[in-house]
Amino acid sequence: MARHLGDDYLLPVLDPDNTPWFTSGRLQVQFCSDCNAAQHPPEDVCVSCRSTHLEFREMPGEGTVESAVAVHFPVHPLLKDRVPYNVAVISIDGAPGCNAIGNVTNKGAGDVEIGQRVRAIFEEATDPNTGEKLLIPNWVAI
């Protein structure tokens, strides 16, 4: 699948905390093994109880739009041919209090509504500097 914002657009820099999110092809959310709190993006410690016993759990892959905007101004030169596009805040099913930010790729700019149910899709990319294969979460309305 081609990337919604273009195959030349910037890629995330992987680290041990974000690698499950950007490479697994599934929604992997970090949970605390001690207090069971979910947190996203992942951290080195639990933001609820400061435990360092953290694990990733696979989520069902759907969510609900909490907020959305249509971007009309290209904030980066590589996006000048991609505007307008949608950016949404998605509450992740199965991970209370956790939101992800992404594009809703199958709706016209400005057509995403709060409360819209969405499903995760994964855009393939290979980092030209490291050769790492990424599967970047994005969203489609369902």
Taking the least distance from each CB to Zn ion, the nearer of 47 and 114 is 47
To Zn ion, the closest distance from the beta carbon of 34 in angstroms equals: 5
Q: Shortest distance, CB of residue 117 to Zn ion, whole angstroms? A: 29
43/124 with CB nearer Zn ion: 43
Which of 33, 67 has the CB closer to Zn ion?
33
**Cβ proximity of 93 and 120 under 8 Å:** no
Minimum CB–partner distance for residue 21 and Zn ion (Å): 19
Report the interface residues with Zn ion, using CB under 5 A: 32, 34-35, 37, 46, 48-49, 51
Determine if residue 80 is left, alpha or beta; phi over 0 gives left, psi from -120 to 50 gives alpha, anything else beta. alpha
Question: Distance between CA atoms of 134 and 25, rounded to whole angstroms?
Answer: 8
The residue (of 39 and 105) whose beta carbon lies closer to Zn ion is: 39
| Smallest separation, CB 111 to Zn ion (Å) | 38
Q: Each residue of 59-77: b (16+ CB within 10 Å) or e?
A: bebbbbbeebeebeeeeee
- Does the N-terminal peptide bond of residue 42 adopt cis geometry, omega within 30 degrees of 0? no
**Maximum Cα–Cα distance across the chain:** 47
